[in-house]
Structure 1
């Protein structure tokens, strides 16, 4: 009788202890697995992307008010590029985001060349964006937008399970092209 009670207690305790012990041994692997599983909550990620995009859009509206000059009219070839990116968004939202980001990088690269700054490859870091914005007299808020758009682009590029809707990609394209236009502004325009 006493032995049966002892065996029952042991059975009750042994499984939780075994689970804790195995979890401790494989803690690094489990941590990676749990991070991976959290990525499958694609609706949460989608909501996070949407929330970030909304915040960037608000920042862009505020930053535009701070510009002491207005953006020039969009040229026909630029309008074609925007339309092409919007079509790509319908097929592959991720690709549209990547291409729109490339437009921002190309704008920074063009500005660097115009300002006589020697660059290798594409200008693609926040420090370069800060420096070029300062040279061009562009409000700091635009470099914050640059950083946030870059973060969203990185999420789209490097998180394989990141789900991006077409409408979000279209909004990202509009923001990125707008930002590229802001960086291309000359100081006296």
Structure 2
């Protein structure tokens, strides 16, 4: 092999790797921003990320009506949870408890509530939830399901805190609804 053939073959072998490295260097900031938002990736399937679900839940929370009663303060949030997944699971348990309590108070009983203790969107609306509240509940449930059922959900402390705040915002609205319903029953 002569020198020109060697140079040509070397260039052919290194052309793609050098081009990729140049592109990565050129778009370094953009790629970094994209990669920081990716929590999981599934090739050949549907990608479901905690980050995207929490953002969707946050957008739904923006549609919630203000509480027609005293604001219910959430418990103190621990800024340094040992496991962010634990924060999400515990916030979900509280949300599920207050939701089921309210749904039962309103007399909405179905097979799904008796079996799974998780109300469907239609059951929540029938119990007096707004569509936005019911949608937020379902979105928070999906985040909880990702955290519980994914092998490695990779939840950050910031995501856990945002989930906590969204869940307790909805819990506050549910508690106000419960107080109104109890007050209505007491006056009847």
TM bin, normalised by shorter chain, reads 0.5 to 0.7
Query: Which has more helix, going by share of residues?
Result: 1
The equivalent of 1:54 in structure 2 is 55
Once the two structures are TM-superposed, the CA of residue 182 in structure 1 deviates from its matched residue by: 2.1
The equivalent of 2:102 in structure 1 is 111
Q: Distance in 1 between matches of 2:82 and 2:166?
A: 19
Contiguous gaps of at least 5 residues in structure 2: 1-34, 42-48, 181-188
Asked if 1:145 is matched to 2:136, the reply is yes
TM-score by length of 2: 0.60
Once the two structures are TM-superposed, the CA of residue 53 in structure 1 deviates from its matched residue by: 1.4
Q: Any runs of at least 4 consecutive aligned residues in structure 1 with deviations exceeding 6 A, and if so which?
A: none
For residues 103 and 187 of structure 1, do their structure 2 counterparts lie closer, same or farther at Cα, with a shift above 3 Å needed? closer
Once the two structures are TM-superposed, the CA of residue 117 in structure 1 deviates from its matched residue by: 4.5
For residues 112 and 164 of structure 1, do their structure 2 counterparts lie closer, same or farther at Cα, with a shift above 3 Å needed? same
3-state SS in 2 of match to 1:63 = coil
Once the two structures are TM-superposed, the CA of residue 45 in structure 1 deviates from its matched residue by: 2.0
For residues 154 and 188 of structure 1, do their structure 2 counterparts lie closer, same or farther at Cα, with a shift above 3 Å needed? closer
Q: Is the 8 A contact 2:84 2:157 kept in 1?
A: yes
TM-score by length of 1: 0.60
Asked if 1:91 is matched to 2:92, the reply is no
3-state SS in 2 of match to 1:172 = helix
Cα shift readout 1:92-129 (whole Å, capped 9, x = no counterpart):
1001100000111101121133224556477313x2x5
Q: Is the 8 A contact 1:104 1:179 kept in 2?
A: yes
Q: How many residues align?
A: 136
The equivalent of 1:134 in structure 2 is 126
Of residues 34, 39, 62, the one that matches 1:45 is 39
Superposition pairs for residues 44-83 of structure 1, below 5 Å?
44-45=38-39, 48-64=49-65, 69-70=67-68, 72-74=70-72, 79=74, 82-83=75-76
Contiguous gaps of at least 5 residues in structure 1: 1-40
The equivalent of 1:13 in structure 2 is none
Q: Provide the alpha-carbon RMSD of the alignment.
A: 3.0
Q: Is the 8 A contact 2:108 2:127 kept in 1?
A: no
